[in-house]
Amino acid sequence: MRPIQATISHSALAHNLAVAKKHAPESKIMAVVKANAYGHGLIDAAHGLNAADGFAVLRLSEAIDLREAGFSQTILLLEGVFQAQELQIAASFGVDMVVHCAPQIEMLERIKLARPISVHLKMNSGMNRLGIPASQYTSAFQRLHSCKNVSLITLMTHFATADEETGVATQLATFQAVTKGLKQPISMANSAAILRYPEAHADWVRPGIMLYGATPVSGTLAADFGLKPVMQLTSEIIAVQELKPGESVGYGNRFTATRPTRVGIVACGYADGYPRHAPNATPIVVAGKLTQTIGRVSMDMLYCDLTDIPQAGIGAPVELWGNQVPVDAVAEKAGTVGYELLCAVTPRVPMQAAD
């Protein structure tokens, strides 16, 4: 068996959930576990996040998997449903749904459900992705309030720049102006807003990336927020090559040695989810020592500089990201964000839960 594996820490998940709760002590926690819990494994991650008040997912099948695994918390479909049949199934499993467009309201008005469903009515307060326009929000609320198939209505929006200098003020003002006087639960804050804008916390908060120990705010380390990495992506050195000055390694001669160089061949490549576009000098730890990648990442292997780690040979342990190499550090070098790298770990990488 190839030595690459991902280990998921339940204690780190619980710790990060506690950080969210510490920042928003008066709010209920809707843990976002979409995209297979950001690549960490839906059910395993949910067990680590079991103290959450609810779970948010994208697909109805994920909601059903959580229910069948015994989770009784609120479960929310972040894009709602797309067909009447799905609405019937969601209601039967006690799954809540986001309502973000008029056709979903019409579906709720036409259908006959065995029991009403709770909804989160999403306002487009400025992100211009999903949501009822602010000018139509009150009438949409009134329609849902009069609908026999709807029970509790939570008022919801999503911030576009909670992680940036722009902040949330404009969207928050729009949302508050439109919803003033509506005595319903409110859900607004994502990870960045939880950590930066307590005025946006309200009744529910929706932590996502922070639960997995990556930063939601570019330029600020996850550790600065007290977050712990949840995924350890590890492998081993499977071969060692000795380069003379002028010799190269890997496809495209992306790295050419300027000195005698020991090259470690690592059992991990882009087919495992490591970014192909990660450049030379992306951080990596071998045998407990920080070094850097060299050459172009290939499908099944990547390369690292062992010149200054003479004790590292075949079988030496490698951390691609985790406790010693933050996933955000790899992402920054690769020109992306930690979200993408965590979600990109492929099914061929064995994943196990720990503690």
Please state, in angstroms and as integers, the Cα–Cα distance from residue 331 to each residue in 127, 145, 274, 283, 325, following that order: 24, 44, 10, 10, 11
| 28, 122, 197, 251: the active-site residue | 251
Q: How many CB atoms lie within 10 A of CB 67?
A: 16
Active-site residue (options: 28, 34, 122, 333): 34
Question: Any catalytic annotation for residue 34?
Answer: yes
Active site residue 274: no
- Catalytic (active-site) positions: 34, 251
